[in-house]
Structure 1
Amino acid sequence: MSIVYKCRHCGHVIGEIEEQIVDTSMLGWDKLSIEDKKEMINYNSNGDIHIHAICENCEDTLGQHPQYHELDFFIQ
């Protein structure tokens, strides 16, 4: 099983955890609302988990252009 963190905007793989057992509270998942979990966490049939997050480059871009927050995708 792998937990793959991917940028929701550019698709860049931010990081990957390859463990059979993971304490999700250590990853902060217990702090997410039900809506955030549904939006951010996807479970694949092979057991992998994909997390939609934001990479540093896209976070910087959003900081410089706050109007981009209104868009689902700002990278064309």
Structure 2
Amino acid sequence: MAIIYQCRHCKEEIGRLEEQVLDAALLGIDQLTAKEKQEMLKYQEDGNIKIFAICDACEDTLQEHPHYHELDYFIH
């Protein structure tokens, strides 16, 4: 099982944790609301969990262009 962090905007893989057993509390997943979990987590058929976050490049772009927050996808 892997936890895969992917940017919600540019779709680049930010990071990956390859572990047999992962503690949701250590990752902070238990701190998310039900709505946040629905928006940020995708459980894949192969047992992996994809977590949608924001990469550094997209975060920098959002700071430079705050109106981009309205968009689900943008190219930087």
TM norm structure 1: 0.94
Name the structure 1 match of 2:55: 55
The alpha carbon displacement at 1:30 in A equals: 1.4
Q: Which amino acid aligns with 1:12?
A: E
Distance between the aligned counterparts of 2:74 and 2:62, measured in 1? 9
Q: In structure 2, what is the equivalent of residue 69 of structure 1?
A: 69
The offset of 1:12, in angstroms, is 1.0
Deviation at 1:25, TM superposition (A): 0.8
CA RMSD of aligned residues (A): 1.1
SS at match of 1:25: helix
Moved over 3 A (4+): none
Consecutive unaligned residues in structure 1, runs of 5 or more: none
Q: CA deviation at 1:11?
A: 1.1
Q: How many residues align?
A: 76
